[in-house]
Structures are given as structure tokens and as C-alpha cells.
Amino acid sequence: MTSRNVIAIFGMLTIMQIMPVNGNATDVVTKKFDSLFVIASSGGVRFRDMVEPAKDSLAAMGTEIVPLLIDRFTTRSARERWTIIHVLKRIGSPAVPFLVRALKRVDGLVVQRVAWALGDIGDSAAVDPLIEVRHHPRWQVREQSIGALGKIGAGRAAPFVIEALSDSVGQVRKSAAVSCGKLGADSSITQLVHLLSDDFYGARLSAVHSLLNLDTTAVVVVIIDSLSPGSLNGALSCRILGRLGTHEAIESLLEQAESPDPFRRAHA
């Protein structure tokens, strides 16, 4: 038996020793959860080899701890936040009904993190509830819900994701651009090309990545049509045309190489 296993077993035995012998089932579950969560979210050297076993033990407790995990989403600790996500992902689809109900909570911080968890779990049962919160007043909720729809990959979510490309907040537009690529939403090509001149660099670069993964012929046609003199998307458009490398793309780049704009010539 390795030293790591010995440490992990010792840690689990320690947890068992601090569990109450008496008390109602709810108290027992809560105290066991609290004890395991301290170890699972610990960054201390003492618990280093016990973190993953503790996460596995939490996940093995199943759906009865999902409400406890959701309540912990108010934490300011990034380590605790990631621990909650990891455990929920290990519980998987059985956690989805609890998370879907939590999307209706008043606390926007909790809602955004619940949307994040639903995306990581990837169950299509969450698609419609996530669509319902896409107009949430808290932009982080919009960002996470749109991102989650892309991770889940349900094609019926595409129109709602494309709609978010026009959001007033750059991070939401970025999330929408990423999700368009994951969904293979060719109907978003025109708007993604428009996003190449977005004020937010994250949205611009995410649009580039997604366009490279959509229908090549359609992308080239739309980009060529958008390459007017002085257009702000010229540099990124040239980059995409060069990456795609079709005959039409090369012909367009040769034309751009004769542009009076030195920056356009350089990118072409």
C-alpha cells in the first residue's frame, strides 16, 4: 500500500471518528458533508492526498447533498467554488433537477454558478431552463447560461445563442461566439464576421476561432463581401482567409495585398 493510500485512508477514518453517533439523519448528513468538504476544498499540504478521495466520497453521497452544495455557491473562495463544480459534475445528471430549480433563486451569484455547473454536467434536460435565464439582468448569468448551452451542444439552442451575439456586454458576446462554434451554428456566420470588429478583444478572437470551425465556403464568401476599404475587421479577416486557404480566399488576399492601407497589405 502506497503512502498516499495510507494518508487517504487515515483521513477518511478521521472523518468517520468526528461523525456523531446520535442525531437525526439530516444532521448526520450535514455534518458528514461539512467534514468532507473541508478536506475536499483544502489547499493545505496536510490534506493534499485526501482531496480527491474526499470529492469522491461527497459525490457518493448523491443527491441529498446537492442542496448543500448549491447553498455553498455564495462562497468567495475560488477553491471552494471549483470543489462544488467538481463534485456536482461527478454526481452528474441526478443533480440536474435540483440545479434547474436553483436557477429561479433571487441571488444572481448563485444562479450564474448553477448555470456553470449545468454546462459542465452537460445534460440536455437543462437546455430549456438555461434558455429561460438568458435575459437575466446580471450579465454573468447571461454569460454562463449562453456558455452552458454551447457546452451541452443542443442544436435547438442555436437561435438563442446567436441572439446573444448582440448583447450589450462584451463577455456575453464572447461566450455567445464560443458557443456558436461548439454548436456548429452556420447561421451565425454573418454575425460572427461582424463581431470581428467588436470593441472587446475577447469577442473578436472567439469569433475567429468559431469561424474557423464553421462551413468554410460560407465563411469565405461572407468575409470577402465584408472586406471593404478601411473596414475594422480587415486584419482578422485576412488571418481567417489565410488559415482557410481556399482558392477564393487566396485570390481575395492577393487583392488585399494591393491595398493602399499598409496595415491591410501587411496582414494580407
Phi, psi at 259, each rounded to 5°: -65, 145
pTM of the complete model: 0.87
Pull the grid cell for residue 1: 500500500
Tens-level pLDDT at each residue, the chain (268 residues): 454 444 444 445 444 444 444 456 678 899 999 999 999 999 888 888 999 999 999 999 999 999 999 999 999 999 999 999 999 999 999 999 999 999 999 999 999 999 999 999 999 999 999 999 999 999 999 999 999 999 999 999 999 999 999 999 999 999 999 999 999 999 999 999 999 999 999 999 999 999 999 999 999 999 999 988 777 788 899 999 999 999 999 999 999 999 898 989 999 9
Distance CA 164, CA 174 (A): 9
Q: Calculate the alpha carbon distances from 188 to 49, 98, 160, 177, 220 in Å.
A: 46, 32, 11, 9, 14
Q: What is the CA radius of gyration of the chain?
A: 24
* pLDDT score recorded for residue 2: 52
Neighbour tally for 127: CB within 10 Å: 19
